[in-house]
């Protein structure tokens, strides 16, 4: 069901809102840390693999209740997002003991 929500009208609205949020913030890729060229728009099949791609911080299959939650969606290059596959995101790894 989570995949259906993400690919449906509600998912398209959340993706568009997250793209605009990340573009305003000029958010870098959460995986490689490099800038994302927001002028390319969101990644489209067959497009530039360095374009913005919505990344579920907590994977859809394990946290279906967070599929449409904007705070669970980070900015990533499509290449980095696809390379990561289905491993848990940064937020799932735990809380830092202190700021380094």
CA atoms within 13 A on the CB side of 88: 7
Average pLDDT score over the chain: 86
CA angle 51, 54, 55 (to 5 degrees): 115
Judge whether residue 38 has pLDDT over 60: yes
pLDDT at 94 over 50: no
| Percent of the chain clearing pLDDT 90 (strictly above) | 66
Rounded CA-CA distance 9/66 in Å is: 16
Cα dihedral value 32, 27, 6, 85, nearest 10:
0
Specify the pLDDT at position 2.
63
Greater confidence, 2 or 42?
A: 42
pLDDT value of residue 92: 45
Residue 89 burial (CB < 10 Å; 0-12/13-18/19+)? middle
pLDDT at position 7, please?
Answer: 87
* Residue 3 half-sphere exposure toward CB, CA atoms < 13 A: 1
Q: Point out which residues pair with 56 in neighbouring strands.
A: 73
């Amino acid at each position: 069901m989570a995949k259906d929500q993400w690919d449906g009208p509600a998912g398209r609205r959340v993706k568009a809102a997250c793209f605009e949020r990340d573009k305003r913030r000029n958010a870098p890729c959460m995986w490689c840390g490099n800038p994302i060229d927001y002028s390319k728009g969101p990644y489209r099949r067959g497009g530039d693999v360095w374009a913005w791609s919505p990344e579920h911080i907590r994977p859809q299959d394990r946290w279906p209740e967070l599929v449409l939650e904007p705070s669970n969606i980070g900015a990533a290059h499509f290449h980095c997002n696809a390379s990561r596959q289905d491993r848990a995101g940064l937020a799932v790894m735990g809380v830092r003991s202190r700021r380094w």
